[in-house]
Amino acid sequence: MLVKTLKLQNFRNIAKAVIEFDEKINIITGKNGQGKTSVLESLYYLALTKSFREKADKVVLQHNKEFFNIEGTFLSDRKEELTLRLYFSDIEGKHLFFNKKKVNRFSEMIGRLPVILLSLEDLSLTYGVPQYRRRFLDILLSQVNPLYLQALQYYKRNIMQRNQILSLISEGTEKIDALFPWDVQLIQYGSEIIFNRLQFVRFMNDHLQDNYRQISEEDEKIEVRYKTFLKNADDQITIDSIQEQYESKLSATYRDDIKRQNTLIGPHRDDLLFFKDGFLLKSYGSQGENKTFLIALKFVESAYLKKKNNEIPIFLLDDIFGELDTERIRHLLSYLIREGQTFVTTTLKEKFNTLHLKEENFIKIKNGRMVH
Amino acid sequence: MQHTGIATLDQLINLLTRLPGIGRKTAQRLAMFVLKSDPDYAQQLAQAVLNVKSEIHFCKRCFNIAEDDLCSICADPKRDVSKICVVEDIVDIMAIEEAHVYHGLYHVLGGAISPLAGTMPEDLHIRELIERVKSEAVKEILMALNPSTEGEATMIYISRLLKDSGVTLTRLASGVPFGSHLEYLDSATIGRAIDSRREL
């Protein structure tokens, strides 16, 4: 997918802007607070109908303005011209238009404009709590598999209902039998989720190593493992065998569940573990290694989306070049140029000076305006 | 909360606000409409509200709405008594009847199991359903519950109770709606429809 032009109106501190992009590398420079990230944020908005920085749409609306508008023109890998427009006003709400036609269900559009975002917050993927890594899996798998998303929604609702039953049982107002209808569904949807995650872990292991080496040029062994309550959980496991183990494990732990009034096993408790040369990356890896790993992981994400959607995603790299030296940046950019179109924000333009880029590759933003 | 200062009007507004889907503004508008309309209308409206409560009650057998002991469906000798269609709510009967394809009887549960909403099996008409299966000439139970995790849980609960009863348990098919175009369907619906495809 290629972004050709972007039109912004009243978006954060950008009152009005029309930007044309290079087909490969776009480096958006400027001091902090000028509106660099807003450009990435608006592209992300078109792709996923929300911000990666804020929960409320209102926040990105420029002060004293009634609406904001984001409009992009795109060229798909099959050479179709596409337009996406997102309009928000406090009174009228949020509206999305695909090729000028109003989109009624936003979920139908997700995945249409595949994006990969890498920002400093992604460091929590390696350093942070397991929740971040489950979120990573869930967002990615939901984008390519609508049945995964559905199973996930049912599963989460089921957990809430089951936990309520657990509380009632521990208070003595319900019998253990009441768990049955929820356990049946928990096993069904939970197994579907785990099965899909395991298939993806296999995909990660097939690709991560190469990606990591491309950026770091060092020969380290990178591995991902899926941490779960199941035994022999790998991509060879069948869904029947997952269900079987799930059922017996659930009946072995329900007493603890009741005591804690919480469901203690299942995909909502599982985790991803990242290893470098057999050691846990988050405990033993340096900042730079973690960042390199994250970038490699983002490339896996890209390859996965490409394989499933037949569309190369666009890359949004938000201010991540802080600890990377020019050599690593060079590797990274040469890799990205082969992949597709990339958008980079940075305050450190000088890091890119020796990389033989053209004038068209740089976009400078000052006070919400493009300056040449 | 704003008050009109006139107690009788405030009382009407407050009562209207308790109706589903009616907010304070709408309630005010409705109340003002009644206030300005001619006295006959107010009389008829009030009487109609009272009649609904005094003359309509629930069918003793299936918990559909009824004017007598039995509802019009249970009292109809042409209905096929070997089939019972289990639904969550009375409005579901209306929807199924519109289709004119089902000629059996019904059983209204009065909701679905939802611990979070405080609805447990004993709050629904499940016991009565089991009694009917024992005492009536039922051969098939068709579960027409909503495709939610609560509807699913209710279905699982009931089918376990009826496992050894000898009746055939069926459920509504889920998949591609008739008359729709595949290209406009959401992919989850198509995905599930492919998963539950059947032989021609």
- The verdict on a CB contact (< 8 Å) between B188 and A147 is yes
Rounded to whole angstroms, how far apart are CA atoms A337 and A342? 8
Q: Is B171 on the interface with A (CB under 8 A)?
A: no
Q: What does the block give as tokens for B90?
A: 């009375």
Task: Please indicate whether, in this complex, the C-beta atoms of A161 and B156 are within 8 angstroms of each other.
Answer: no
Question: Could you give the C-alpha distances from A309 to A76, A101, A352, in angstroms and in order?
Answer: 11, 22, 32
Do the chains contact at A157 and B149, CB–CB below 8 Å? yes
* Longest alpha-carbon distance in chain B: 69
Spell out the residues 6+ positions from residue A9 whose beta carbon is closer than 8 angstroms to its own.
A15, A16, A67, A68, A69, A70
User: B170 or A110: whose pLDDT is higher?
Assistant: B170
| Mutant choice from B123, B126, B146, B149 vs A, greatest count of A C-beta within 10 A | B149
Domain boundaries, chain B: 7-55, 71-199
| Interface membership of B156 toward A (CB under 8 Å) | yes
pLDDT in tens, A216-266: 777 889 999 999 999 888 888 999 999 999 999 999 999 999 999 999 999
* pLDDT over 80 (residue A158): yes
Whether B7-55 shares its CATH topology with B71-199 is answered: no
The answer to whether the complex's ipTM is over 0.90 is no
CATH architecture of B7-55: Orthogonal Bundle (1.10)
By mean pLDDT, which of A357-371, B85-99, B125-139 is the weakest?
A357-371
- A166, A304 Cβ separation under 8 angstroms: no
pLDDT tens digit string along B156-198?
999 999 999 999 999 998 888 888 888 878 878 888 888 888 8
- B26-56 per-position pLDDT tens digit: 999 999 999 999 999 999 999 999 998 888 8
* Residues facing residue A346 across a β-bridge: A29
Burial class (CB in 10 A: 0-12, 13-18, 19+), A68: buried
Chain A interface residues (partner B, CB cutoff 8 A): 105, 107-108, 145-147, 149-150, 154, 157-158, 160-162, 164-165, 168, 174, 178, 180-182, 184-185
A9-66 pLDDT, tens digit per residue, is 999 989 999 999 999 999 999 888 888 899 999 999 999 888 888 888 888 898 889 9
Inter-chain residue contact A147 with B154, CB threshold 8 Å: no
How many A/B residue pairs have CB atoms within 8 Å? 53
CB contact under 8 A, A168 and B192: no
Percent helix, strand, coil in chain A (nearest 5)? 50, 25, 25
Asked if B120 has any chain A CB less than 8 Å from its own CB, the reply is yes
The answer to whether domain B71-199 has CATH 3.40.50.300 is no
Measured distance CA(A246)–CA(A237) in Å, rounded = 13
